[in-house]
A and B are shown apart, each in its own frame.
Chain A
Amino acid sequence: MNFNKIYALGLRHLYLIMNSFPRVLDLIYWPTVQIFLWGFISKFFTLNSDYYSNTVGVILTAAILYDFLFRASISFNMMFLEEIWSRNFTNLFIAPIKISEIIVSLTLTAILRTLIGLVPAVLISIPLFGVSILELGPPLVLLLLALYLFGISLGLFVTSGLLRFGPSFENIAWASLFFLAPLGCIYYPIDILPNILQILAKGLPLVHIFEEMRSILLNESVNYSNIFISSIISVIYFVIGIIVFYASYFGAKKRGTLINMGE
């Protein structure tokens, strides 16, 4: 691994953000709107639901964590799409950078994009709704890591699709997370799902992460085995994501789609 090259690719995306105020605004705007929307919904449920009674911000915390996952995945996809949109794909893939270095760079840079969007929104939620995700305590770090890894894994699957099918796969990039959201049990317990879907849902780290989040906030108890399971599942998806990405890269080389890929 050459960290100078990883940094160079990260710098490319950092410059892209720094050169455009509307781009920064766009990164901040959507998470902030989400926080406002779910903040008011959360407030309503807190006042009118037995399940959520006296537990301020469970829904809003879930919304923040889900947005973290969403931003991580979309950031990864967006950075890859930027190369296609700018017709820079060939230049990137003929540069002496390893595929592993590209993955590491996109993974690390996605953190930056995610935080630019989410930190202001999280800070707003404290004075406005009296909710802080820090109330989750030390397990928050582990939950965020598991979410981040899963978000990047989804990013890897989508970018693999872009390599395989070209820019026409772009719409899937946007739809990928909405597809999984119902099974993720983000805002409701897993018992709500029909039995067959419960089995599928348990194969996703999201269920374990959000069940644990609710358990911490509602019961004030931490079950580290839940966090461990979610982390293991996220790591499995991440490894599969890397394998699929490499397979798509070699497939794209065979089909000749790496050259002149662009809109």
Chain B
Amino acid sequence: MFIQVKNLTKIYKDYLAVNKINFFIEKNKTIGLLGPNGCGKTTSIGMMLGLITPTSGDILINNKNLKSFSRDQILSRFNFASPYVELPKKLTVKQNLEIYGRLYGIENLSERINEISNDLDIKNFFDRKTGELSSGQKNRVSLAKALINKPEILLLDEPTASLDPDIGDFVRSYIQDYKSKNKVTILLASHNMSEVERLCDSIVMMRKGKIIDNGTCEELIKKHGRNNLEETFLKLARSRDEF
């Protein structure tokens, strides 16, 4: 599936959160959505997930407007993970995956849960309540939920935020491996530049609700005359009126 975002705008009362953004995610590619806090990344993701109604503009999935899909028709092909969104804390890992598997209408659910649990190494705390897990464990369970339906479009909002380097690397390696084995289009919002460089085929840079630049990592670093993506990000984030 490919995604095209056209003139997407969101205005909250008199606050312009997202300002006529345009970008394209090729089928089975990963795009990084970068920008400082409050630049409109989460609002953009919210609009793509159907959680926020755009003020204007369109999101096209395989050239078909997102609005023309029914809720269950489109959402069964999407999924999302973010450390700021949790699974029910009082339910065990297994119960959570069972419930979300059912909600996503997964056939052979036990097999799928077994498969994803092995892949993400979560079996050893399968019967523990999700609220009792460490950040790293919760993160992997959240990722398991996000992949339970083998989504064609996966939206990840800072998937490795607050993880120690070891677990962070495990998650990044897993996503990289998953990408290579499955047909999935990924939108990744992150503040971790090495993660973005490692996982993304191209980048969209946002600031104050607008896209201020886009391209591959190498293109952006070269264009802005910096040594790495972090320096490029800082230059763009701190720029005032150039864009």
Contacts and interface: CB of A to CB of B under 8 A. Distances in A.
Given A91-B100, A97-B72, A256-B12, A12 B91 contact: yes
Contacts of B72: 2, 96-98
Interface in A212-263: 250, 253-256, 258-260, 262
Contacts of B49: 90, 94, 259
Given A90-B80, A256-B12, A19 B52 contact: no
Interface string A193-212: 00000000000000000000
A168 interface: no
Contact of A4 (B71, B84, B87, B102): B102
Interface string A91-116: 10111111100000000000000000
B12 A260 contact: no
B238 to A, nearest CB: 26
Contacts of B82: 90
Contacts of B73: 96
Of the candidates A2, A8, A88, A95, the one having the most CB atoms from chain B within 10 angstroms of its own CB is A95
B224 interface: no
Contact of B51 (A5, A7, A9, A258): A258
Contacts of A82: 88
A224 B40 CA distance: 59
A88 B84 CA distance: 10
A19 B129 contact: yes
B231 interface: no
Contacts of A95: 75, 100, 103-104
A253 B53 CA distance: 5
Interface in B70-113: 70-76, 78-80, 82, 84-92, 95, 98-100, 102-105
A16 interface: yes
Interface in A6-64: 7-9, 11-12, 15-16, 19-20
Contact of B103 (A5, A15, A20): A5
A87 B88 CA distance: 7
Contact of A8 (B75, B80, B102): B102
B43 interface: yes
Of the candidates A9, A94, A254, the one having the most CB atoms from chain B within 10 angstroms of its own CB is A94
A253 B99 CA distance: 24
B52 A256 contact: yes
Interface string B17-28: 100000000000
A90 B79 CA distance: 11
B225 interface: no
B42 interface: yes
A260 B105 contact: no
Contacts of A4: 102, 105
Contacts of A262: 86
B207 interface: no
A171 interface: no
Interface of A: 2, 4-5, 7-9, 11-12, 15-16, 19-20, 82-83, 86-91, 93-99, 250, 253-256, 258-260, 262
